[in-house]
Amino acid sequence: MTNISQSIHDYVRKAIQMQMLDPMDQIYVQNRLLAILGLDEMGVVSNHELEEELQDYLDKLVAYAIQEEIIDSKQFSREILEAEIMDLLIPYPSTVNQVFWDYYQEDKVKATDYFYQLSRTSDYIKTRHIAKNVHFKAKSEYGDLEITINLSKPEKDPKEIKAAKHAPKSHYPACALCMENEGYRGHINHAARQNHRIIRLKLGDEIYGFQYSPYVYYNEHSIFLNETHRPMVINRKCFRNLLQIVEQFPHYFAGSNADLPIVGALF
């Protein structure tokens, strides 16, 4: 009991230290973690020096859940629990949007810096996995060419692949990018998105979402998506939207995927 209580205590204290959590919310979050981990009370804890990263304390909580068979050791089970625990540290989407647009009125870069940092510290952007990628740069007549070997997305165990194939089919969320993903628990065939937040903005007369890619391929790799799930089309409206994006975020570069079903983008 004492070890897991200490891990809970350290996780919450580290979040407070990182200013992800208000000290007033410490007891509330500790109690939410007790419930998630099937515990009824906190054991004796100490306020020792916190020398590890937040995700290291998260790992201890997940390891306990596996040890006590609260979850199994499958990758998707771990990711669902990780997202559920991290979600305790992130404001509701309405609050995130309010803070973002308040910053935006002051400084556009400050707004995106806030959202990018939140996406990283909440483990929505998989920084530890991305660090495994291998990069090569080569000179070319068109400038430097960067080649990346993507090692960030965990390989599924053959047993998980088989289980996913026979799992009941679901059409919610409609795809991996649509707004229905915000806060979604996830399952074997759909990534956990409980720690996911989307910024709302207007392009023309429609509402769009702005988010970061969980497995970024380049710095601040962003995604813009329509609030309505529909096939992407490359047309005049698409280019008009791209221009409006760079008008709203002049420090960003905006581009578009091809309008092919395999690409998976919406516009």
Tokens of 170: 């679901």
Question: Residue 155: its pLDDT value, please?
Answer: 66
**What percentage of the chain reaches a pLDDT higher than 70?**
91
pLDDT digits (tens, 9 = 90+) for 23-58: 999 999 999 999 999 999 999 999 999 999 999 999
Q: Which residue has the higher pLDDT, 132 or 255?
A: 255
Q: Which residue has the higher pLDDT, 146 or 78?
A: 78
DSSP letter at 146?
A: E
pLDDT digits (tens, 9 = 90+) for 201-259: 999 999 999 999 998 777 899 999 999 998 888 899 999 999 999 999 999 999 888 88
Which residues, 6 or more positions from 32, have their beta carbon under 8 angstroms from its beta carbon?
A: 88
In whole angstroms, give the CA distance from residue 7 to residue 56: 10
Tokens of 258: 């091809």
Contact predicate 5/44, CB 8 Å: yes
Question: Residue 96: its pLDDT value, please?
Answer: 98
Q: How far is CA 227 from CA 37, 104, 180, 224, in A?
A: 35, 21, 9, 10
Question: Residue 217: its pLDDT value, please?
Answer: 76
Residue-averaged pLDDT of the chain: 90
Q: pTM of the full predicted structure? A: 0.88
Question: Residue 154: its pLDDT value, please?
Answer: 66
Q: Which residue has the higher pLDDT, 202 or 155?
A: 202
Q: Which of 211, 36, 37 is nearest to 125 (CA)?
A: 211
**Integer distance in angstroms from the first to the last C-alpha of the chain?**
51
pLDDT digits (tens, 9 = 90+) for 184-201: 999 999 999 999 999 999
